[in-house]
Chains A and B, each alone.
Chain A
Amino acid sequence: MSDFRKFTLSLMATFGVPWLLLIIIPVMKYQRIQPIPYNKEVDGVEGYYPPTGIHRQGQLVYAREGCVQCHSQMIRPAQLALDGWRKGWGQDQEARAAAPVRSNTMRDYLQEPYAFLGAQRIGPDLANAGWRFTDRLDVHTQLYAPRSKDEWSVMPSFKHLYIVRKQQGPVASNALKLTGKYAPKKGYEVIPTPEAEALADYVLSLKKDYPVPGVTAALAAAGEAAKK
């Protein structure tokens, strides 16, 4: 019996150490992280970091549709990977951005109950997807008929989040502007459901490149100094 006890205790010790140090203590410490205020003089902005929450209802739709299977939400630092330089992965939508997008920190995800950092990159990263779309209808078009934007796209169509209904009077303001084979029959229009609206809100809220207090401004200053 004592050997059994020794064996079990050894098992508990070997697994208990990583369990405690890697999971339990960080999880407990995480509960105490708070947003930090910006310093107007150093950072040039006011308010708190991170400034806004995400759209939780939309995130739930994102979760249940399995968007995370193809899209990451995590920019890796420029010294490790090219993420920050890729077209459209930050605020700058030019093919050749002037500066890399900053990498993400723990606090960027502070407002989210769970951060969908990603499983694979079958589609592009969405950490700063809010900047990528010109407007709300643009997001809806991407969700309803991805191939109407890029015919090579392998993104599935989320038709089930939309209603095709008979036009009632003038064209509804939220009706999708679709052309070609993706357009509904004449006299019909495609209207987003509340779930699609929530998902669009969520995608548009993804702008995880706001300045980091004390860091972003210092980096920018260093860059300016280097140019001179």
Chain B
Amino acid sequence: MDTSTANAELENQADATRRAAIDRSVKGPVLFLFLNGAFWLMASTILGVLAGIKAFAPEFLDVSFLTFGRLQPAHLTALVYGWGMQAGLGIMLWLMARRSGQELIGGKSLMIVAGVFWNIAVSLAIVGILAGKGTGFEWLEMPSYLWPVLLVCFLVYAWPMTRMFARAFRPEGFMVSTWYVLGACFWFPWIYITTNVCLHCLPGLGALGAGVNAWYVHGLILLFFTPVAVGAAYYFIPKITGQPIASQQLAQIGFWLLAILGGWTGMQRFMGGPLPAWMVAIGALTGVLLLIPVGVVGLNHHLTTLGKHHLVATSPTLRFVFFGAIFYPVSGAILALLSNFWSGLNLQFSHAWYGYQVTAVYGFFSMTAFGAIYYIVPRLAGCEWLSVRLIRNHFWFSVYGIGTIVVTSLLAGMQQNADINVPERWDQSWMSVVMNARPYLVARVIAWALITWSNVWFLIHLGLMVAGLGRRSAAPTLLPSHHDETDSALPHGANA
């Protein structure tokens, strides 16, 4: 009895040492990516506020580099490449190292260099767009010379992750998180190279170019942001609740259905347009069929959390991840609404499309990423988060902000449909379209302002942590709860 306890104790210690060594090995690149990502997130939300204002008041700040046509792409470029991809890469690297049980051996300084170049490229992209050097391709508005830089930087991160995965692959251990992470490492360069070669290097694709562009945007959401966020959720929900993933079968089905369907979506964006009908139809079909993997993953997360929902109140990580996991089905439902021919034709070219992008990138991906960051950073920085109030502030302002954007964008889309597509109003002037969209745009500005407020504090909080100025304590920063203390205490593994 005594020896077995002692052995278990020793094993625990050995485990903790190994985990600490893994954490140390990825510390530099991961913290670098998170901090810079948080900066771009704040920049993006400020640009979002400005773009929203310019959408209904074009005479506000009337200078050439702040017209709506330039602000809007700059806002989304900062959100996607500045924040989303950097946070995603940081989470992927840490998850892959932890999950494959391997330290990052070489290439750390190369990763930092790649991170620096990534940030230079994003800065040039945003300055370029605002200065009028944009290409006008959706989500690829950045000047065309920047894409090889971003690609190489991405590969500097993706290659070591693939090697970790390959070395650690063991058939007996089911590793759904790392599947998703590897998928993201693998799909993004493929989509990115294909699209950029098609749009920048081929002599011209006319309407097909727009189709490829739409395929790219859907691919980036479904085959990069989605796998990173779902992979993280599959890691953190079991970790914090202390329960294994409810069903391995469901997890496998969810993964492979996403892999099979994801690559077909996109062209339904131009339904009724000049693209061949079969391309649009298959995009519409898969856009709706994606509800199946979305539902399967949502069910699995729900079953895993079952009985431990009170932890959402205390654990900042679980709270953010849980909210993000709820937004996976929400973004899937909006995609289905936009994809099928019944509601898709009505919501096509409306604010609902912007609503989908923001729901997927902020509501679903970013909320999950925040949860991951609240878990990862204390382990890398060696100190705990300073303030419960700041975390709570970040959560609630984000939730209300993103909720407002989702609801108002969808309603604005329906209103636009009522003004543009409804037969009774076919001979009306454009004035009603402009006037009726205004309240929703005002609401969007307020929502982005709330999100900006939450993320300014997030950036400061994260900056203090990275600087090593966090709380020195063995206990993690948890949100106070009204539940019985013993009941809501986190299981042992959650603190590992």
Interface positions of A (Cβ within 8 A of B): 1, 3-4, 7-8, 10-11, 14-15, 17-19, 22-24, 26-27, 30-31, 62-70, 72, 74, 76-77, 80-82, 85-87, 95-96, 103-106, 108-124, 146-147, 150, 152-160
A1 touches which of B67, B169, B207, B348 (Cβ 8 Å) = B169
A4 touches which of B169, B194, B423 (Cβ 8 Å) = B169
How many positions in chain B have a CB within 8 Å of any CB in the partner chain? Answer: 87
CB-nearest residue of chain A relative to B72?
A69
The reply to whether A65 and B198 form a contact with Cβ atoms under 8 Å apart is: no
The reply to whether A22 and B264 form a contact with Cβ atoms under 8 Å apart is: yes
Residues of A within 8 A of B353 (CB): 119-120
Q: How far is the CA of A12 from the CA of B70 in the complex (A)?
A: 37
A-B contact pairs, 18 of them (CB 8 A): A1-B169, A3-B171, A10-B256, A14-B256, A15-B263, A23-B194, A66-B69, A96-B427, A103-B272, A104-B274, A106-B276, A113-B203, A115-B209, A116-B210, A117-B207, A120-B349, A120-B353, A154-B434
Identify which of B132, B264, B349 gathers the most chain A CB atoms within 10 Å of its CB: B349
Residues of B within 8 A of A7 (CB): 169, 179, 182
The reply to whether B272 and A81 form a contact with Cβ atoms under 8 Å apart is: yes
B244 interface hit (Cβ, 8 Å): no
B48 interface hit (Cβ, 8 Å): no
Distance to closest chain B CB from A77 (angstroms): 6
Residues of B within 8 A of A114 (CB): 136-137, 199, 204-206, 209-210
A81 touches which of B64, B67, B345 (Cβ 8 Å) = B345
Q: A27-B202, A115-B206, A117-B210 are in contact. Are A65 and B70 (CB under 8 A)?
A: yes
Q: Which residues of chain B in 349-406 are interfacial with respect to chain A, using CB atoms and an 8 Å cutoff?
A: 349-351, 353-354
Q: How far is the CA of A117 from the CA of B280 in the complex (A)?
A: 14
The reply to whether A72 and B58 form a contact with Cβ atoms under 8 Å apart is: no
Residues of B within 8 A of A3 (CB): 169, 171
Q: How far is the CA of A96 from the CA of B427 in the complex (A)?
A: 6
Residues of A within 8 A of B205 (CB): 27, 30, 113-114
Residues of A within 8 A of B63 (CB): 160
Q: A11-B259, A22-B267, A66-B70 are in contact. Are A106 and B206 (CB under 8 A)?
A: yes
Distance to closest chain B CB from A141 (angstroms): 15
Residues of B within 8 A of A62 (CB): 136
B275 interface hit (Cβ, 8 Å): yes
Identify which of B64, B208, B270 gathers the most chain A CB atoms within 10 Å of its CB: B208
CB-nearest residue of chain B relative to A94?
B427
B32 interface hit (Cβ, 8 Å): no
Residues of A within 8 A of B132 (CB): 64-65
Residues of B within 8 A of A85 (CB): 426
Residues of B within 8 A of A63 (CB): 134-136
Q: What are the nearest 3 A-B pairs in CB distance?
A: A66-B69, A63-B136, A76-B272
Residues of A within 8 A of B67 (CB): 65-66, 156, 158
The reply to whether A117 and B421 form a contact with Cβ atoms under 8 Å apart is: no
Distance to closest chain A CB from B421 (angstroms): 5
B73 interface hit (Cβ, 8 Å): yes
The reply to whether A74 and B270 form a contact with Cβ atoms under 8 Å apart is: yes
The reply to whether A80 and B272 form a contact with Cβ atoms under 8 Å apart is: yes
The reply to whether A121 and B350 form a contact with Cβ atoms under 8 Å apart is: yes
The reply to whether B136 and A66 form a contact with Cβ atoms under 8 Å apart is: yes
Q: How far is the CA of A27 from the CA of B197 in the complex (A)?
A: 11
Q: A121-B416, A152-B434, A160-B64 are in contact. Are A112 and B206 (CB under 8 A)?
A: yes
Residues of A within 8 A of B141 (CB): 66
The reply to whether A120 and B350 form a contact with Cβ atoms under 8 Å apart is: yes
Residues of B within 8 A of A76 (CB): 271-273, 345, 348
B133 touches which of A11, A64, A95 (Cβ 8 Å) = A64
